[in-house]
């Protein structure tokens, strides 16, 4: 995942995503929030990469469980249901990330 190449919006420099750092926030309803981010190596602009909260971790755990279940599941209907549920979790995960990125910004 960390090998993805990105282009900096500010200076146009193209680089591979470096090792992320994390900044801790305390959200009113989210509790502990960790914003994982990286800097453009050229102009040091901060980019949020992934935001971690209890809710986000819960979604990831549920997804992992379904993935694992599908490896041994024999019932095709159940497999389809699990895939649908994983799709759904992916969608709420993405929406959650968008919302969190708006609330927890890295500007000092």
**The one among 7, 22, 43, 65 contacting Zn ion by CB under 5 A:** 43
Examine residue 95 and tell whether it contacts Zn ion (CB under 5 A): no
Residues in CB range of 74: below 8 A, 6 or more apart: none
Query: Per-residue contact track with Zn ion, 5 to 24, x per CB under 5 A?
Result: ---x-xx-x-----------
The SS3 call for residue 79 is helix
CB count within 10 Å of CB 35 equals 23
Examine residue 83 and tell whether it contacts Zn ion (CB under 5 A): no
Site residues (CB under 5 A) for Zn ion?
8, 10-11, 13, 40, 42-43, 45
């Amino acid at each position: 995942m960390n090998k993805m190449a990105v282009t900096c919006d500010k200076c146009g420099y193209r680089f591979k995503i470096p090792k992320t750092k994390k900044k801790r926030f305390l959200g009113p309803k989210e509790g502990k929030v960790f914003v994982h981010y990286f800097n453009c190596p050229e102009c040091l602009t901060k980019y949020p990469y992934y935001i971690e909260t209890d809710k986000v971790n819960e979604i990831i755990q549920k997804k992992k469980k379904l993935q694992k279940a599908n490896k041994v599941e024999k019932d095709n209907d159940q497999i389809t249901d699990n895939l649908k549920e994983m799709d759904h979790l992916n969608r709420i995960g993405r929406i959650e990330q968008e919302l969190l990125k708006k609330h927890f910004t890295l500007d000092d």
